[in-house]
Amino acid sequence: MQLDNNRYFLLASAQLFPFSTPATAYSVSGEEALTLARSAFELVAEGKLQEAIALYTQGIEAYPEQAFFHACRSLLNEQLEDQEGAFYDYQVAKSIDFNYHIYLEWRENRPETADADPAIGFSDLQSLLEAALDATQQFDYEHALNLYGQALVAFGESADLFVYRGALQMRLLRYDLAVADFEAALHMDPTHVQAQLSLAKFYEAIHEPEAARKAFDKAVLLAPENSVIYEERGNFLQEQEAYAEALADYDTLVSLLPDDFYVYAIRADLLGKMERWDAALLDYSKAIQLNPYYSDLYTYRAEVKEKLGDNDGAEADRRKYEEIEAED
């Protein structure tokens, strides 16, 4: 698929975030949002931070669907010690695209200095993978990427390694590198379920719903008993407002995980969107039966009870919520 006209893909992949190293592969020709992003990046590099803020604000006004400009302004406001402005833009970016929340969380928590010796030798693959996982948990994503690269050289290419590395590239919003890894994994092993699911999530992230749907469907065919796929595809379909299809996936999810309170809760939320209040009430009640100490479930059920005219029941649920919260 050609992604040269996909603004979500281009803005993230160009990596024109303040105080970062931009990618060199993306031309600004013909894409006004990318031109604006590069101009703002150059202003930051020149120390003209207020002028850069103005350009990011212009980007927000021109492209309100893009989390990129809010993320950039958040980073710049953080540098300018405008905590309120930084937090506001962070929240907006997060609400538009949760992947930007992951990126900004990394920018906040990454180590100040890189690992001094990222290519330290490992005698076996498992030890290297454990080191990469530890680096990931410490927000040292760059070091983890180096380790996966080392693994690919030292122990040979494998679909799993490409998927691990691609998942980290997604966290860093390096969408071009992420999709290259997922496609490399599928080239090696067309039946690799996680690679197919990761590809679906990639297309979802860059707002290519037809490609995402095809990839999700392929993942289901590869692993029809894999509950994670039904949850992910159901969430995607719900975002697309394909409620009937999303409900079918959640029904399958419930059949696969009948003792998991969470699956009833997410199906209840969807049933609420469909205004199927009686069914939503049953699901919230089942979720509470399975996990009676999850306080938020009572507030959700209270809202459904109000829709059904049961104000006394709603009030009882809210009291129960407050009781559990007080115990915590």
pLDDT tens digit string along 173-224? 999 999 999 999 999 999 999 999 999 999 999 999 999 999 999 999 999 9
Average pLDDT, the chain: 94
pLDDT over 70 percentage in the chain: 95
Mean pLDDT of 65-86: 96
C-alpha closest to that of 9 among 196, 231, 212: 212
**For residues 181 and 219, what is the distance between their CA atoms, to the nearest angstrom?**
17
Contact criterion met (CB below 8 Å) for 234 and 249? yes
| Crossing angle for the helix pair 175-188 and 193-205, to the nearest 10 degrees | 150
For residue 261, count other CB atoms closer than 10 A to its CB. Answer: 18
Contact criterion met (CB below 8 Å) for 32 and 90? no
Contact criterion met (CB below 8 Å) for 146 and 119? yes
C-alpha closest to that of 96 among 8, 17, 197, 174: 8
The answer on pLDDT for 15 being more than 60 is yes
Q: What are the domain boundaries of the chain?
A: 7-109
Per-residue model confidence as pLDDT tens digits over 228-238: 999 999 999 99
Q: What is the DSSP letter of 283?
A: H
> What's the full length of the chain, in residues?
328
C-alpha 268, offset from chain centre: 22
In sign, the C-alpha dihedral spanning 239, 240, 244, 245 is: negative
The answer on pLDDT for 113 being more than 80 is no
Reduce the secondary structure of 87-154 to three states and give it as a string.
HHHHHHHHHHCHHHHHHHHHHHHCCCCCCCCCCCCCCCHHHHHHHHHHHHHCCCHHHHHHHHHHHHHH
Token pair belonging to 2: 């050609």
H or E element at residue 237 = helix 227-239
Contact criterion met (CB below 8 Å) for 161 and 149? no
Architecture of the domain delimited by 7-109: Alpha Horseshoe (1.25)
H or E element at residue 320 = helix 311-327
User: 3-state DSSP call for residue 276?
Assistant: coil
Token pair belonging to 284: 């919230």
**For residues 214 and 195, what is the distance between their CA atoms, to the nearest angstrom?**
13
* Largest CA-CA distance found in the chain, in angstroms, rounded: 66
- pTM of the shown model: 0.92
The answer on pLDDT for 30 being more than 70 is no
Token pair belonging to 125: 């693959």
**For residues 211 and 217, what is the distance between their CA atoms, to the nearest angstrom?**
10
Rg (CA), the chain: 23
**For residues 134 and 130, what is the distance between their CA atoms, to the nearest angstrom?**
6
Query: What was the pLDDT predicted at 112?
Result: 82
User: 3-state DSSP call for residue 307?
Assistant: helix
The answer on pLDDT for 25 being more than 80 is no
